[in-house]
Amino acid sequence: MRLQLDTFSYPGDEHPTLHGIDLAVQAGDCVLVAGGSGSGKSTLARILAAVLPGRHGGVLTARFDMGGETLWFSAGGQHSARPDDPASALAATSPDVVNPRINAAVWNRHLAYVGQDPSAQLSTVAATVAEEIAFALENSGMDRVLMKERVRLTARDLGLTDLLQRNPNELSGGEQRRMIIASAAALNPDFLVLDEPTAGLDADARRYVRTMIESLLARGAGIVLLTPELGGIGRLAARVHLLDGGRIVASGPRSTMLRSAEAARLPLLPDAVDTASAAVAAAAEEANDGGPGALPHAVQAQPVAELQDVVYRYGDQRRRRLTALSKRSLLRRPTVLDGVNLTLRAGERVAIAGANGAGKSTLLRHLNGLARPESGTVRILDRNIAGEPVGSVARDVAYLFQDPQDQLFERTVAREVAYGMPVEDSEDRDAAVQHALERCGLTALAQEHPYELPASARRLVALATVLVRRPSLLAMDEPTVSMDRDGVDRLARAIKVEAARGAAVAVVTHNLDFAYAHCSRLVLLSSGRIVADGPFMHVLEQHFGGGEAFGVQAPAAWMRSKGVDSI
Amino acid sequence: MVSAAPPRLGRLSPLTVLCAAVVIAVTTTALNSWAVSAGVLLGLAVLLASVGLGRKVLPAAAVIMVPFGLSLLLTHGLFFPEGRSVLWTFGPARVTAEGLFFAASMGLRTAVFVVVFLAFSFHVQPADLMALLTKYRTPPQLGFVLCSALTIAPAIAARARRVAQAQQARGLVTGSGLRGRLAAVREQAVPLVLALLHEAGSRADSLEARGFGGRSRRTSYREVTDSRAQQVFRTMLLAALLAFLVFWYGAR
């Protein structure tokens, strides 16, 4: 496969989003396209997937060699003939045209694509995980017997066998991501394009995805990974292209590119294993010993939030009596939190980690009343918040949702950040909004629509909505996912500043490399119970001797300091 | 966690249930008799209660029918120019027996329509319908639109809940009661529509990227029972409906 792209512009845009791209992938090759927020990664992925330009319009000038065919796209090309063209299977229109309409089902067999947001990729017509995995196979017209076998094997390879009969909507974000990857991999495509395939995945899930990619590579498939990370799953890539401003600015073997000046200049996340840097160790040392969020001081500080014996099961306990679940049927539902006790104090920076489905997000949702315990109490500052509306708890607790799509609803970034701020003193409010935008590097984007921004910038908008409120407690669910280095740096600074002014910060994360550098305390959750809680270093020493505990991978920098290679 | 199986009308295929729903709705509308509509409603209520769908369908039907019934009463009950038997007058409003009868009769007919199609939407699994339509080589886009129509209400409700949670997490407190609900609806309407439009766009992209809507013939992973007997029954039912309509309107 080879894409030689001259330019691509979205409809109405003066400047091209992508230009001067030459991406060739051979059978059995793994290629990493690394770029920061807004570099054009997702646009490139969607062009490879033939979603763009498609019905979106836009202007693409490119030559695409795929499956033995050459497809031409031209800005001025109106169905012009090209010489010596064989009958095209890929194009839905007559083969001898420029700008062909792609036959999605055939294209998909050659090149399958998995986008950033797994929930947006659900078919919505599948009743079970097995059917969702089979969706792409159904579209390719595969025989049912063969399809069942393919689904079974792919599910086994990705650790989804136990979930096959579940409803896809009931899976966690990480499980949904694996399911969508399984659906693409089940096609056994010639090429697989994966946009941030391991975002939000726990250690086990990452291993499954990695093994899956390795087995596809061994079978001769070509893989294109797009992420802002140089490490992680990107370590499978032999070749790296660095994308900046819609252009490939450097290409070469991974070992060379890691230490290139371009890699250092761009807002890419360095490989924690290769570069477990002194800066990370220093930051971790500060967070754990001398920093304002250090536990010895924090223990003296006032509790901001207290969860006492909290038990929670799925099933809405606030429903009206007529439709509420009976106590018996409620008790049959699985326990998500099972007797959780947790105190968060002013100035603390607490990381909450655990495998996918361990109950981390549910725990966090109890802190502002989005989830209510079946039994037990939740206290914020000096009050029990049972029966208190979420909107009222929000005075003291700011919540960062796992998916920014769930957080953002306004028409511009500025309106989004200002939402819910007191209107009595509009000057103060405007100044606070301006300050939050500056802290998140969003001043120039204040009038943009939040949905139109790249994933990393969307996350920063969500962060700004939290910071502007100056809450006593910041509850953040997977804040680092999809962020580039600039975003991660701003997040780290925000956590430090907020803790220093006396707020408690609770961060649910799979990214223990980030948590190690910026949090002082580590809470581990497994099957709805807290299995470890204490100063970060202490918990690492106690539980992570083997490099991994409770589905969580130890920080690479810490492993390196112990002289052990990360997985 | 395996989701509970939906209540089943025996082993009827979704297409058979759809056919029955169409026949009931069309016949009741054509007959245009309050007694028939009331009888059909009663029969449907008993049937739905016996198969365990009553608790789902009847409250949902009430949510639609109560405001609709009230609006019928206001428009036809109070202002029915053809009404002769005046029961009560207040200013320009005249409550007439004919107006009330018209409102009740129209309300009952609409209620039959609402109940049968709600019963269909609660009974059928969209995945079953999609599998059957694929089996009969219906264009996949049409199957998807039909299935989306079945799931649109819960999908909108879920998105509305997420918008509400996002707003509450940022300090929105909505009061209880009708006033509070109206205030919440006003606050959520625009974000909800924008979010749904955005979601529809990205869903269309990802379906395409997963090969949906290509020229190839689609197959189905899911197996759904649809016997020859049911196919014959459906054909006969639709033929009978056609014959009835020709007779009913031809005879007039």
Chain centre distance of CA B194: 24
Whether the per-residue pLDDT at B5 is higher than 50: the answer is: no
Q: How many residues belong to chain A?
A: 567
Residue-level pLDDT at B155: 84
Backbone angles phi, psi at A63, to 5 degrees: -120, 130
Give the pLDDT band (50/70/90) at residue B191: confident
- Compute the distance between CA of residue A417 and CA of residue A437 in angstroms, rounded to an integer: 8
Residue-level pLDDT at A282: 63
- Give the relative orientation of helices A455-467 and A426-439 as an angle to the nearest 10 degrees: 140
What Rg value do the Cα atoms of chain B yield, rounded?
22
Residue-level pLDDT at B173: 84
Whether the per-residue pLDDT at B6 is higher than 50: the answer is: no
- Compute the distance between CA of residue A303 and CA of residue A383 in angstroms, rounded to an integer: 11
Residue-level pLDDT at A291: 44
Q: Are strands A349-353 and A521-526 parallel, antiparallel or unpaired?
A: parallel
Q: Which residues of A touch B191 (CB under 8 A)?
A: 409-410
Whether the per-residue pLDDT at B7 is higher than 70: the answer is: no
Whether the per-residue pLDDT at B73 is higher than 90: the answer is: no
Q: B81 versus A1: which is more confidently predicted?
A: A1
The torsion angle over the Cα atoms of residues A79, A84, A86 and A90, rounded to 10 degrees, is -40
Please list, in sequence order, all residues whose beta carbon lies within 8 angstroms of the beta carbon of residue A261, skipping any fewer than 6 positions away: none
Residue-level pLDDT at B53: 85
**Chain B interface, best mutation among A117, A138, A330, by max B CB count within 10 A:** A138
- Compute the distance between CA of residue A64 and CA of residue A4 in angstroms, rounded to an integer: 6
Closest C-alpha among A90, A111, A108 to residue A100? A90
Asked if the C-beta of B161 comes within 8 angstroms of chain A's C-beta atoms, the answer is no
Q: Which residues of B touch A322 (CB under 8 A)?
A: 59
Mean pLDDT (chain B) is 86
What is the mean pLDDT of the segment spanning B177-198? 83
Q: Tell me whether residue A520 is exposed, middle or buried, using C-beta atoms within 10 angstroms of its C-beta: 0 to 12, 13 to 18, 19 or more.
A: buried
Residue-level pLDDT at A525: 96
Residue-level pLDDT at A324: 47
Backbone angles phi, psi at A356, to 5 degrees: -55, 135
Is the pTM higher than 0.95? The answer reads no
Query: Which secondary-structure segment (H or E) carries A22?
Result: strand A18-24
* pLDDT tens track for B142-169: 889 988 888 887 788 888 888 899 999 9
Asked if the C-beta of B134 comes within 8 angstroms of chain A's C-beta atoms, the answer is yes
Closest C-alpha among B225, B138, B209, B219 to residue A147? B219
How near does any CA of chain A get to the CA of B26, in Å? 28
Backbone angles phi, psi at A477, to 5 degrees: -105, 110
Residue-level pLDDT at B123: 85
Residue that has been written with the tokens 């196919």 in this structure: B231
Chain centre distance of CA A526: 21
How near does any CA of chain B get to the CA of A477, in Å? 13
Please list, in sequence order, all residues whose beta carbon lies within 8 angstroms of the beta carbon of residue B12, skipping any fewer than 6 positions away: B230
- Compute the distance between CA of residue A125 and CA of residue B206 in angstroms, rounded to an integer: 13
Residue-level pLDDT at B150: 85
Which of B169, B202, B211 is opposite residue A108, by nearest beta carbon?
B211
- Compute the distance between CA of residue A462 and CA of residue A468 in angstroms, rounded to an integer: 10
Closest C-alpha among A395, A470, A409 to residue A439? A470
Residue-level pLDDT at A318: 46
Beta bridge partners of A524: A353, A532
* pLDDT tens track for B212-221: 887 778 999 9
Block means of pLDDT (10 residues each) for chain A, 567 residues, are 93 89 94 93 93 84 88 65 49 61 81 91 93 95 95 95 92 89 95 92 90 94 94 93 95 92 90 63 61 49 94 65 51 83 96 91 95 95 94 95 86 92 81 95 94 90 95 96 92 96 95 93 96 95 91 88 63
The answer to whether B211 contacts A105, with C-beta atoms less than 8 Å apart, is: yes
Q: Are strands A30-35 and A504-508 parallel, antiparallel or unpaired?
A: unpaired
Which of B1, B144, B173 is opposite residue A334, by nearest beta carbon?
B1
Residue-level pLDDT at A297: 52
